[in-house]
Amino acid sequence: MSLQTQIHSLVIRLSDEFKSVYQKIGNLSSLSTTDKSTLVAAINELKAAIVTVAVIDDAQISTATTYSSSKIVERLDALKTEILGGADAAYDTLVEIQQLLTNGASGLDALLAAVNNRVRFDAAQSLTALEQAQARSNIGAVASADVGDTSTDFVAIFETALAA
């Protein structure tokens, strides 16, 4: 093989490689940057644009900016504190609450029983005489039997007594 043929083969092979690289990086004229002279210049222009844009703003809520990661963590911690409302560490996750409710069903049953043993004002109830007496005692009321017939016409009684 002659030297000319070998150089010719090398040039063809190099041009194939350059075409492959050129296809991967694209045509510089298709860059959306102002400086299209080199990839390095375009990247530097992009970096300068990013640096000058203030995208982190911890002072206000905005759709054009974001909080810093430390501000986001701070806000999440505040939300967690607000949701937990000072709950004891044993009750500060949903899993712990679920476990306590599942394991402590007797405590929950006792609480539900206590709620059911109340005098209701939103629905009719059937209470035993002892329960009625206790409820009246708790609120300082008297039994209707002690009040008497509330439909008594005292004016008629008065007038009858005057005439007699």
- For 26-36, how does the pLDDT look when each residue is reduced to its tens digit (9 = 90+)? 788 888 899 98
Of residues 60 and 1, the one with the higher pLDDT is 60
pLDDT at 57: 87
For the ranges 40-44, 91-95, 136-140, the lowest mean pLDDT is seen at 91-95
pLDDT at residue 92 above 80? no
Give dist(CA 115, CA 123) in Å, integer. Answer: 14
pLDDT at 73: 95
Q: What is the pLDDT of residues 43-54, one digit of tens each?
A: 999 988 887 776
